[in-house]
Amino acid sequence: MTGLLRSWVDSANEPEGAFPLNNLPYGVFSVAGGTPRCGTAIGDRILDLQALEETGTLDFGGTLLTGSWNAFMALGTMEWSRLRKTLTDLLKEGSDAKDKLAAHLVPIADAQMHMPFAVSEYTDFYAGRHHAFNVGTMFRGPENALPPNWLHIPIGYNGRASSVAVSGTDVRRPHGQLKGPNDEVPRFGPSQRFDIELEMGAIVGQPSNGPISVATAFENIFGYVLLNDWSARDIQAWEYQPLGPFQAKATMTTISPWIVTAAALEPFRVSTPERDFELLPYLQEPGPMLYDIDLEVGLTPEGGNETVISRTNYREMYYSAAQQLAHHTSCGCPMRVGDLLGSGTISGPEKGNRGSLLELSWGGKEPIEIDGGTRSFIEDGDTMTLRGSANGNGYRIGFGQCTGKLLPARD
């Protein structure tokens, strides 16, 4: 595996930093109330790419002047590679561009992050075996935990692009129809079993008009973000039959602010797990399509200290984003630039690897310990934080934090 690529930006050479030269993730930022601008993270700084296109240092047809990455994504893989190589050459140790670029570096601490791209459509999958087995066991018992189709097909549903928000956006406890096991009729009220789902999001960077193969999916996937699919479990329990999640998943989906490119994650590819059944040919993978990315969830009560409640890894998924994209397009469904695919909850085999409070507390029956108390589900004032990094030889590929604070339901 390639070691740390050294940069003239000194903070990018720290082994524990999230944004070395190996990474170069893309985001949208503003400073002091200014307009949103495209940038890339390097060490503890953001390189203002809009300024570099304005001055002619970069030339990507004006796509870096838009305050969003959609127009650049639409240029395709050759331009994706050209920008990454150009930035690497400009920022590497010994580059003669140091004096010219130094004026366009902004401290990350001084920046406000915005949505890095406009979400065209949002699809969420249910593709983590440990999560699916845990949830199925709670509701149907271990013998019938996985639906008959689960080991053959990546199950998903179409979510709400309008409610995808960037890290740091507060989330409001939702209202909905609730019905307990002993209630004759439902009532309307605030969710009492509000939860998170630890996921990765894959961003589609090229449009399609017909099936995409697993083998060519990486020509369409621009990059990845951390994704928290907030979930109202009690609303979901009443509404999901027979058509699946609806209002329970529509409150908000939070993503991390930096798009980590597929190119940056290339050294960390790993294979999906062994199969119980051979997949149909259109879903079979020609090589490793998952990534070795360490993930964790932190819960911070209002006025308290954070407790890390879960640690797992993206390699635990049963279906990769490439397989999800291939299945999504197999019926002829067209994809758009900016489509977002949620991986599904990422849980591992042990209790401490579970990616939702539903699993961690086993439906509320086994509350977990946190700083100053316990939790079965999220309480008002709690801040939930997702983190992730691929760990290389002397460097890390980080995503930035994916955070959200739960506010009380409106009266």
Domain boundaries, the chain: 10-114, 122-407
At 318 the pLDDT is 97
Per CATH, 10-114 and 122-407 having the same topology is answered no
At 196 the pLDDT is 98
Q: Quick one: residue 32, left, alpha or beta (phi over 0 = left, psi -120 to 50 = alpha)?
A: left
Q: Tell me, what DSSP letter sits at residue 67? A: S
Per-residue b/e over 179-216, b at no fewer than 16 CB within 10 Å? eeeeeeeeeeebbbbbbbbbbbbbbbbbebeebbbbee
C-alpha 173: how far from its chain's center? Answer: 21
Q: pTM above the 0.85 mark? A: yes
What CATH fold (topology level) applies to the domain 122-407? Fumarylacetoacetate hydrolase; domain 2 (3.90.850)
At 2 the pLDDT is 78
| DSSP H/E element including 264 | helix 262-265
Residue 375 to residue 180: CA distance in whole angstroms = 20
Q: Which two tokens stand for residue 359?
A: 């699993």
At 45 the pLDDT is 98
Q: Considering the domain 10-114, what is its CATH architecture?
A: Roll (2.30)
At 1 the pLDDT is 61
Asked if residue 242 has a cis previous peptide bond (ω within 30° of 0), the answer is: yes
Torsion 163-227-263-284 (CA) sign: negative
At 243 the pLDDT is 87
At 172 the pLDDT is 98
Pick the catalytic residue from 114, 131, 327, 328: 131
Residue 114 falls in the annotated catalytic set: no
Burial-class residue 286 by CB neighbours within 10 Å (0-12, 13-18, 19+): exposed
In a structure prediction context, what are the per-residue pLDDT tens digits for the chain, which is 411 residues long? Answer: 679 999 999 999 999 999 999 999 999 999 998 999 999 999 999 999 999 999 999 999 999 999 999 999 999 999 999 999 999 999 999 999 999 999 999 999 999 999 999 999 999 999 999 999 999 999 899 999 999 999 999 999 999 999 999 999 999 999 999 998 889 999 999 999 999 999 999 999 999 999 999 999 989 999 999 999 999 999 999 999 888 889 999 999 999 999 999 999 999 999 999 999 999 999 999 999 999 999 999 999 999 999 999 999 999 999 999 999 999 999 999 999 999 999 999 999 999 999 999 999 999 999 999 998 999 999 999 999 999 999 999 999 999 999 999 999 998
